[in-house]
Amino acid sequence: MRLQTEGVVVSNKRIKTVYYRLGINCPPIAEQIKPGQFVMLKVSDDSSPLLRRPFSVYKTYRARHPEKRKRGLLFILYKVVGKGTRIMASMEKGQRADLIGPLGNGFTLPPLPSSGNIILIGGGMGIVSLYPLVEAFGEKRCFVFVGGKTEHDILCLDDFKKFNSSVFIATEDGSLGHKGTVVDLFLSEGKRFRRNERYYLYACGPAAMLKALAGTARAKNLISQASLEARMACGFGACWGCVVKTKHPKIPYQRVCKDGPVFQLGDIIWE
């Protein structure tokens, strides 16, 4: 059940340039959250900024985690871009954090862990919401494609390397890995994927990346899920402010917060 609750900040560190990691002790949400779900964080006690901010949850530690001091923690990664995230960067250990979560429908995992191969494609901050999938797949090998503008925008590499994953990197300026977009890189590595095997593709990133991905025949032939970003007001389905156009026969504008954020990639109509 989703709830509004107060957690306590346990850490708030800059990981590189404008990227930060915020740790919050919040057992009721940490216990329930599934890969691809998100939380709405209240960043200010007054009305500036007024709205909560949506964040996908990156790492969580449940009540049965062997390390006692980590139990009930959840972590979010954020990029300082405006007023709200600047306030977040000043949050201190011990401060209370007002959260609503878990929100959204999250990713659908393959029916059986052994039933196919996994491809993850993340652009910029999008990689954050894919991380819980790698954890969920455990020992299973994942092909992870990570993209960003420069090497400074490539996040979470060490986390992915801890698991049994093959990581491919693309930067638009070529400062790390392949020079170009992550979608180009994915297509150029196409020969790695055998036609007679089943693949599940999970993607998260900016609209331009997902649109390019959706346009490729390769993505069309795979079972592709994408987690979308959108400006949100409530985050729990009340206001219909965060909609995206879909192929839904009756209700073309679906809510990213509640009907998503994860959609079948092929169901989205890109404009």
C-alpha 203/C-alpha 145 separation (Å) is 9
Q: For residues 123-182, which are near other proteins according to CB under 8 A?
A: none
First to last CA, the chain: 34
Which residue, 149 or 161, has its beta carbon nearer to other proteins? Answer: 149
Which residue, 57 or 103, has its beta carbon nearer to other proteins? Answer: 103
21 binds other proteins (CB under 8 A): no
Local structure of residue 22 (DSSP, 8 states): E
Which residue, 64 or 231, has its beta carbon nearer to other proteins? Answer: 231
Residue 8: which of 28, 23, 20, 21 has the closest Cα?
23
Residue 85: which of 159, 12, 182 has the closest Cα?
12
Among 20, 145, 236, 263, interactor with other proteins by CB under 8 A: 236
CB of 27 to other proteins, least distance (A): 17
C-alpha 35/C-alpha 15 separation (Å) is 22
CB of 218 to other proteins, least distance (A): 28
Which residue, 157 or 239, has its beta carbon nearer to other proteins? Answer: 239
Angle (CA) 226-190-247 rounded to 5° is 30
Count of residues engaged in binding other proteins, rule: CB under 8 A:
33
Among 4, 95, 150, 164, interactor with other proteins by CB under 8 A: 4
CB of 233 to other proteins, least distance (A): 5
47 binds other proteins (CB under 8 A): yes
Residue 183: which of 228, 132, 236, 124 has the closest Cα?
124
Q: Helices (H), strands (E): how many in the chain?
A: 7, 16
Local structure of residue 143 (DSSP, 8 states): E
Q: For residues 48-107, which are near other proteins according to CB under 8 A?
A: 48-52, 100
C-alpha 126/C-alpha 149 separation (Å) is 13
Among 238, 259, 260, 266, interactor with other proteins by CB under 8 A: 238
C-alpha 177/C-alpha 161 separation (Å) is 15
Among 27, 28, 237, 266, interactor with other proteins by CB under 8 A: 237
CB of 260 to other proteins, least distance (A): 13
Q: For residues 176-235, which are near other proteins according to CB under 8 A?
A: 230-234
Question: Phi, psi (5° rounding) for residue 179?
Answer: -90, 120
CB of 72 to other proteins, least distance (A): 20
Which residue, 15 or 251, has its beta carbon nearer to other proteins? Answer: 251
Amino acid (one-letter) located at 101: G
Binding site for other proteins (CB under 8 A): 1-4, 42, 47-52, 100, 230-234, 236-245, 250-253, 258, 271
